[in-house]
Amino acid sequence: MRLVLLDSPDEVRRNFYPLALSRPLWELRCGFSSLGEKLIAKVGAGDVAYFVPDYMADAYRTKVERPLRLRSGLAVNDSSVLDGDDLLIVDPRVKADSFNVAGRGPSEVGLDEQGDVLYARVAKADLAKLPTGDIGKFIAAAKAKLPNVRSALPTWQYIWDLVLANAEQITADFAAAGQSGVEGKVEQPNAIRGSKKDVYIAPGARVHPMVVIDAENGPVYIDQDAEIYPFSRVEGPCYIGKESVLFGAKCREGNSIGPACRVGGEVEESIVHGYSNKYHDGFLGHAYVGEWVNLGALTANSDLKNDYSTVSVMLDGRRAIDTGSTKVGSLIGDHVKTSIGTLLNTGSYVGAMALIMATGKPLPKFIPSFAWFLEGVVTKGFGKGKLYETAKMAMGRRGCRWSEAEQAMWDAVFEMTAPMRNEAVKKGRRVMLAR
């Protein structure tokens, strides 16, 4: 059986921007791992293929071919995988914990209430009925020709759903991992509160003296080669990813950090993707932060409104979406850089590659991708070329390479996000002219 992860249509993917601008939905993280890793583990698939939006196919292919990520039968946007084996095609919005469809069985197509395909199980014997050259046509034909069933599988709807579910997911992932105890190095004196069976410190991890690990309200998992500096307090549920470093951080409950992040200050109920830095003081709460982000000293986000009303977020810069939650922080895309003292409003959207120079006031709630926010307005700044140079430099410092495929993907993102950015630049020009 081959598992095929098929990314959602654009109109759905937009609900997961700015993170989904540069990755398929299954690369979003919650708890210890990505949504894709959870689905693969749940299905027990050894053979996995991927269909991503065309503009990111080459870049994604480059990423998944990194040696550590290699899986057998790996394929990206290769229609030949639609032949030769039983298939289980799954929409990555489906929550893995609830996914209860057997990999093998008679063909069936699971549809949600709107009639959208959540999964399609296609027995090898039925493949001859379907056009295998194009995934879009393949799914449409499967829906038309194979038995349909109404599926009530729960799905992720918006990017903030992952943040709000993170603490619970960490607890579930800790239980599933089935590991506890100290395999790394813990220097004394330090304190572990709660049950030691709710703490796991992986081989190669180092916990310096004067660290408090508080597992009283949830488990703490410190992954391989992570390092916790003195005066850090780590409250569970919490996952500190491989090679991440906490610098005297007040790491409150519900965080998933890393791999290879550097984090200080106060962080609460947030997800931080790999290679991002929040080295200094400043509060980050109920936030989702992408890769290669650098949050300058004293960057802080609000995650609760003064009147305790529910937080709204603008994913497109125009329409506010009520999250239904009183706690939502910032959604920060890949390669964002903020200056010292940046103040992010409740439910802020900071587009990928945006560069922020703080003014002392809270930022507008929507900053488009590739925006240079200078002197209180969105500008074209020094252009995307300078942002690419910065990205290359940041990646090079960590031994990673900026590829041509990656640049082509970002060029496409630049074009896709131009209307919102141009609108914000025009607004900024009006402000400049009025000064």
Partner 1 sequence: MATVEERVKAVTARVLKLDADEIKPEHSFTVDLGAESVQSVELVAMFEEEFGVEMDEDAALSVETVGKAVEYIAEVCKQQGVDVEQ
Q: Which residues bind partner 1 (CB under 8 A)?
A: 357, 372, 374-375, 379-383, 385-386, 425, 428-429, 432-433
Tell me the closest approach of the beta carbon of residue 361 to partner 1, in angstroms: 16
Q: Please, what is the minimum distance in Å from the beta carbon of residue 357 to partner 1?
A: 7
Cβ atoms < 10 Å from Cβ of 68: 6
CB of 430 to partner 1, least distance (A): 9
Task: Please work out, in degrees rounded to the nearest 5, the angle formed at the alpha carbon of residue 313 by the alpha carbons of 263 and 111.
Answer: 100
Element housing 39 (H / E): helix 35-43
Shortest Å distance, C-beta 371 to partner 1: 12
Identity of the residue, 327 or 384, whose beta carbon is nearer to partner 1 in the bound complex: 384
- By beta-carbon proximity to partner 1, the closer residue of 42 and 337 is 337
CB of 1 to partner 1, least distance (A): 51
Nearer to partner 1, 68 or 433 (CB): 433
Counts of helices then strands in the chain (DSSP H, E): 8, 38
DSSP for 367-414?
Answer: E-TT-EEETTEEE-TTHHHHHHHHHHHHHHHTT----HHHHHHHHHHH
* Nearest distance from C-beta of residue 334 to partner 1, angstroms: 21
Contacts 24+ apart (CB under 8 A), 149-154: 149/108, 149/109, 149/110, 149/111, 150/110, 150/111, 150/113, 151/110, 151/111, 151/112, 151/118, 151/119, 153/94, 153/95, 153/98, 153/99, 153/100, 153/110, 153/112, 153/118, 153/119, 154/94, 154/95, 154/98
Both structure tokens of 313: 């977020």
CB closer to partner 1, 229 vs 402: 402
For partner 1, the closer of residues 170 and 377 by Cβ is: 377
Is the CB of 285 or the CB of 428 nearer to partner 1? 428
